Amino acid sequence: MGRPEPRVDGRLKVTGNARYASDFPVANPAHACLVTSAIAKGRIVSFDLDDARAVPGVLDILTHETVGNEVHEPKFFGSGGTASTIHRPLSSAQISHAGQIVAIVVADTYEAAREAAYRVRVTYEEEDAATTLDSDGVETLPATKVRKEHKNPRVGDAAAALRAAPVTIDAVYETPTQHHNAIELYATTCVWSGEQLTVYEPSQFVHALKHAMAEQLGIDAEDVRVISPYVGGAFGSKAAVTPRTALVAIAARRLNRPVKLVATRAQGFTIATYRAETRHRVRLGAQRDGKLTAYVHEGWEATSRLDDYLVGGTETTAHIYDVPNVSTRVNVVRTDRATPGFMRSPPEVPYVFALETALDELAEALDMDPIELRRINDTRNDPITGAPYTSRSLMACYDEASRAFGWRRRNLPPGSMRDGDWLVGWGCATAVYPTFMGAATARVRLARNGATRVEIAAHDLGTGAYTAIAQTAAERLGLPVAAVEVLLGDSALPAAPVAGGSNTTASCCNVVAKACDGIRRRLVRAAMRADRGPLRGRKPSSVNFVDRHIAGEDGAKVSLADAFDMLGAPMIEEYAHWLPHGMEPDALKKLHLGSAALTGGAMEDRIAAAFGAELVELRVNVYTGELRVPRIVGAFAAGRIVNPRTAHSQYVGGMIWGIASALHEQTELDRRVARYVNTDLAEYLIPVNADVPDVQAILVSEEDRLVNPLGIKGLGELANVGTAAALGNALYHATGRRIRKLPLRIEDVL
Amino acid sequence: MRYEAPTTAKEAVRLMAGKAGMARVLAGGTDLLVQIRTDRIAPDLIVDIKRIAGMRSIMTKSGGFRIGAAVSGAELGEHKALRRAWPGVVEAANLIGSIQIQSRATMGGNLCNASPAADSVPALVAAGATAVIVGPRGRRSLPVEDVAVAPGRTSLKKGEIVEAIVLPKRAPRSGDAYLRFIPRSEMDIAVVGAGVSLTLDRNGVCTAARVALGAVAERVILVPDAAKALIGSTVDQAALERLAAAASAACRPIDDKRGTKKFRIKVAGVLARRAARTALARAQGK
């Protein structure tokens, strides 16, 4: 652990041998194609399927007229369930969002299915749809009303503190709709063997998908197996169970033949989740020396009519700085759109953008360096509860990032740095991500020759989980990484949490280490009790596993093979479960039922989070307003780093995503009809390589003895937090113009 | 939908002229296939011109070039003499899409797709290129700026196909350039495009110029007033300012998600000026 091991699955991936969901060969598959709604609100009056049925090779066309009540109502994950929505697919003529699945065509070939899907004619009765936050017909409700357990963080008397503050900021910020657009499309293959169903689907939570299928199809969970060893990008979109899976399963059951669906890129914009647009009003009060006295944050988030998805980012932002008076409030705005869902750092991306931009405005009002402002308000304790941070290295991150960036050469006044035709701006912002952990189980088997197999139904979304878990087992058992085989992404393996909230490394490495420790104990005991042998009579705590040996501090050692012989067994298999601090005792039971319960962040007795500092240079062309980002430096501290190479890759990728969020990414809404316009990668802009010339990630060392036994904090969702604020702040520094709405657009600069 | 791949222009014209309903020419397919797949069009007939030998070659013709309508961007980029004579045209064509797209996409297709934001078209218009059109009544030539009439619409008649694009013989001391503006650094549709071609006399005075703009009107436009600003000058700062002002004045753009009207008008002037500077340097042999 701690070494920059190359990915253990790297060769498989670059040679095309890693099997993604739709790569699994199944016998004689039929192919499915979706037909999605052309309207956002209303009902289906009729179908004309004659043309579609006439296509040679068409086997079946499922609509609400034929499926009806076959799918049981899913339970929304926001209410403790597993599904992205309570919508029951193909259960009625009702349309609640554009792009809703209205039919599924199954044929012998993909081509026939697609052709027939094109020929399905649907007649609708359309009603006016409410598209977004300020559209007519939306319903705005406080989060406390739609979610009983929701609590708006607050402390002190923020209103009074604001009134008394000599310096105040009061501004409104907005973030756009975004879609994950993982390269791997939403694919599902369902295979029935008698009563048993196997689902091949890219998943961030195979145990949830297993139980969801059992519930939605009315079958025994033990008859469902979900296989998803590799995932080609997910970013939250493959965590909750979407309506398509049950439909593919039903189609396969009706035909008694495997059915394979790979939805199109455009359909991916409406059959799964997305990041909804948000609006924020932030008010800050401070003394002239920069000490914050008040923080008031109200947020509005778009959701659907059916489900109240909530990101509620003040649950993160209220805990970052030392502010004695905090008042927050979050609202959901129900629109006629699909239900949004997790997208990388769901609460932090929009809410931290608002807070970190407001802080920059405050620094400007105070005529103060923005990093100094953050230093003045740094804290070791949760300002809401007073509980201590398990560890916190925010200012160390700023210090290291500043040094690497050359921040002290920054001129304070906006518009004062120029290079030829380019206005130069330097901006900064804090990155933060709460540390989450979940109950986890794992099985580890060690053979006499050192061959190790780790089984855990965790998920590698391209993040490096295979490698981190292999490194953990290798270190605990004193073996090379190559001796460890890791099996993930299969619901037949011991249950592990959702790959969400960046908890996988912390949860899974801790449980795997625990299982390895069980193996160690048995071998050590055997070695110590053996009649002869160099470790006879030693204390278990005095030995370690190194280089295929059990070694004492004085150099006395027993080889693994000898220890096995002393034990009299050819292999040992250990099963372990692990409950993180603060987890409710029934968490294991919930985990086995596919519940995504996580603990962490701001707890009663402590608060755990990873921090970072991002410093950026933005250049604005005087003549064209072109915005370019020649360099970005991020320094991050996230406890113990299991693999600096994959961590570095996550940070760099996160910052690039942050640049995308700031300058490019936005799902365009046709506000008249509640539809998305740019549903492909030609029109949904993300940066190309030329847009991200110099991205530097610094790993700041941090030791955390409290957060969990291995001291690991999640970091996958850390680095794309704050980037957009840093860039907006740099734009202000370059031009003196404050843009409070993302993405930053060139015409806003002219 | 019927697909045909004739080997002669005559056969292609016969197919295009004979079919009732929608017929479309397929060259690289980088626009056509996307439009079909996204349900924007549903042709009854597709005529692939890539097997017609005369449409796949670049020929030198009385000092100029005849570029077959099915010649790919990659082939243009590899043609040294063409690159030397018309660097602006080749650069413009090579800006379209990625390397993969370059090996398929053609200038003929870019022209006939009739997008106001087509990258190669302003460069061709500035170059004074003509389109050779073959149809049921034989061949005719048309200035490139007269091919597109509106977004997605051309002046071609039923059965007509653009067979080649002809670039004229280059006068000594000439240069051309094309620039486009996009929000990110590569791979996007032009928010504004500007093509400039000019010729100098022995004293460095501009004797001929053409300026064309893309993405600022319903089609690519030739801007004679902008050219006039250069002719008779040494392409000095004052002439460039007049050029920029004339270019901005000629714009009649729309707002869309890539840029606003106001932005396009301003940047058209900036890009025309920058393209003129590059064209000037090339004319001066720099």
Per residue in A70-88, pLDDT (tens digit) is: 999 999 999 889 999 999 9
Chain A residues within an 8 Å CB radius of B38:
266
What is the residue extent of each domain of chain A? 10-127+183-234+238-268, 145-178+274-435+603-749, 437-596
pLDDT of the residue at A259: 98
pLDDT at residue A544 is higher than 90: yes
Q: Inform me whether the pLDDT recorded for A699 exceeds 90.
A: yes
Torsion A265-A270-A273-A276 (CA) sign: positive
Distance (Å, rounded) from C-alpha A719 to C-alpha A634? 8
CA torsion sign for A360, A364, A369, A372 is: negative
Listed by number, the residues of chain B in 243-282 with a beta carbon closer than 8 Å to a beta carbon of chain A are 257, 259-260, 262-263, 266-267, 270-271
DSSP state of A209: H
Distance of CA A147 to the CA centre of its chain: 22
**Is A747 in contact with B185 (Cβ distance < 8 A)?**
no
- Among B38, B267, B271, B274, pick the best mutation site for testing chain A contact (most A Cβ within 10 A): B267
Q: Beta strands A101-107 and A557-559: pairing type?
A: unpaired
Look at the alpha carbons of A60, A62, A68, A70 in this order and tell me if their dihedral is positive or negative. Answer: positive
pLDDT on residue B11: 97
What residues of chain B lie within 8 A of the CB of A628, using their CB? 185
B256 Cβ contact partners less than 8 Å away, ≥ 6 residues apart: none
Whether the domain at A145-178+274-435+603-749 and the domain at A437-596 fall into the same CATH topology: yes
Determine the Cα–Cα distance for residues B83 and B89; give it in Å rounded to an integer.
8
A·B CB contacts under 8 A: 48
Burial A460-485 (b: 16+ CB within 10 A, else e): bbbbbbbbbbbbbbbbbbbbebebbe
Q: Yes or no: say if A608 and A581 are a contact pair by the CB < 8 Å rule.
A: no
Question: How many Cα atoms are found within 13 Å in the side-chain-facing hemisphere of A329?
Answer: 12
Q: What ipTM did this prediction achieve?
A: 0.90
Task: Provide the pLDDT for residue B62.
Answer: 87
CA–CA separation, B108 and B105 (whole Å): 9
pLDDT for the residue A750: 78
Q: Is the pLDDT of residue A59 over 80?
A: yes
Domain residues for the domain of B250 are 174-283
Contacts of B260 in chain A (CB under 8 A): 747
Nearest-angstrom CA–CA distance, A719 and B274 = 38
Q: What whole-number distance in Å separates Cα of residue B143 and Cα of residue B127?
A: 10
Number of domains in chain B: 1
Residue B213 counted as domain residue: yes
Which amino acid makes up residue A521?
R
Instruction: Give the list of residues 6+ apart from residue A111 with CB closer than 8 angstroms, or none.
Output: none
Question: Is residue B216 a contact partner of residue B192, using CB atoms and an 8 Å limit?
Answer: yes
Q: In a mutagenesis test of the B interface, which of A36, A111, A626 is the best target, namely the one with the most B β-carbons within 10 Å?
A: A626
**Residue A690 phi/psi, 5° resolution?**
-65, -15
Question: Are B267 and A624 an interchain contact pair (Cβ–Cβ within 8 Å)?
Answer: yes
Contact in structure between A731 and A744 (CB atoms under 8 Å): yes
Sign of CA pseudo-dihedral B6, B9, B10, B12:
positive
**What is the length of chain B?**
286
**A10-127+183-234+238-268 has CATH 2.40.30.10 classification:** no
pLDDT in tens, A140-180: 999 999 999 999 999 999 999 999 999 999 999 999 999 99
Could you give the CA distance from residue B23 to residue A236 in angstroms, rounded to a whole number? 44
B188, A750: Cβ pair inside 8 Å?
no
Q: Which of B184, B266, B271 sits opposite A687 (nearest CB)?
A: B184
Closest-CA distance, A747 to chain B, in angstroms, reads 6
pLDDT at residue A56, rounded to an integer: 98
The answer to whether position B156 is within a domain reads no
Catalytic residue among A115, A201, A665, A717: A717
Query: B interface mutation test: which of A663, A670, A677, A685 has the most B CBs within 10 A?
Result: A685
The answer to whether B39 contacts chain A (CB < 8 Å) is yes
Share of chain A above pLDDT 70, in %: 100
Q: How do the residues of chain A divide into helix, strand and coil, expressed in percent and rounded to 5?
A: 30, 25, 45
Q: Residue ranges of chain B with pLDDT lower than 70?
A: 19
For residue B210, give the 3-state DSSP assignment. strand
Residues of A in contact with B95 (CB under 8 A): none
- Chain B nearest-CA distance from A741, in A, is 15
Q: State how far the Cα of B249 lies from the Cα of B231, in Å rounded to an integer.
A: 18
Tell how many helices (H) and how many strands (E) occur in chain A. 20, 32
State pLDDT tens for residues A267-323. 999 999 999 999 999 999 999 999 999 999 999 999 999 999 999 999 999 999 999
Give the fold, CATH level 3, of A437-596. Aldehyde Oxidoreductase; domain 4 (3.30.365)
Q: Name the 3-class secondary structure at B145.
A: helix
Nearest CB partner across the interface for A747, out of B39, B263, B271: B263
SS3 B30: coil
Distance from CA of A389 to the nearest CA of B (A): 40
Check residue A5 and give its pLDDT.
97
Other CB atoms within 10 A of residue B187 CB: 18
Compute the nearest-CA separation of A668 from chain B (Å). 8
Residue of A nearest to B262 (CA): A747
Pair A199, A226: CB distance under 8 Å: yes
CATH topology of domain A145-178+274-435+603-749: Aldehyde Oxidoreductase; domain 4 (3.30.365)
**Strand stretches in A354-479, DSSP E:** 418-419, 422-434, 436-437, 440-447, 452-455
Residue B10 falls inside a structural domain = no
B246 within domain boundaries: yes
Residue A6 per-residue DSSP state: P
Contact B183 A664 (CB under 8 A): yes
C-alpha distances in Å from residue A555, one per residue of A450, A520, A535, A552: 20, 18, 10, 5
**DSSP secondary structure code for residue A598 in this structure:** -
pLDDT at B37 (0 to 100): 85
According to the model, what pLDDT value does residue A597 have? 84
Q: Is residue B138 part of a domain?
A: no
Cβ neighbours, 10 Å, residue A690: 11
- Cβ contact B181–A624 (<8 Å): yes
Diameter of chain A measured on Cα atoms: 86
pLDDT of residue B258: 85
Residue B198, domain CATH: 3.30.390.50
Q: For residue A749, what is the nearest residue in chain B, using CA coordinates?
A: B263
Question: What is the C-alpha separation between B7 and B49, in angstroms, rounded?
Answer: 8
Write the residue in B38, B184, B259 that is nearest to A664 by C-beta.
B184
Q: Which two tokens stand for residue A550?
A: 């059990």
How many residues appear in chain A? Answer: 750
- As a whole number of angstroms, the distance between CA A685 and CA A656 comes to 13
Out of B184, B257, B266, closest to residue A691 by CB: B184
Structure tokens belonging to residue A735? 């031009």
Residue carrying the six token digits 């847009």: A691
Would you state the pLDDT for residue A533? 85
Specify whether A149 is catalytic.
no
Alpha-carbon dihedral sign for residues B179, A655, A315, A579: positive
Q: How close, in Å, is residue A268 to chain B by CA atoms?
A: 15
Span between the terminal Cα atoms of chain A, in Å: 51
**Cβ(B195)–Cβ(B176) under 8 Å?**
yes
Q: How near does any CA of chain A get to the CA of B218, in Å?
A: 20
Alpha-carbon distance of A283 to A548, in angstroms, equals: 59
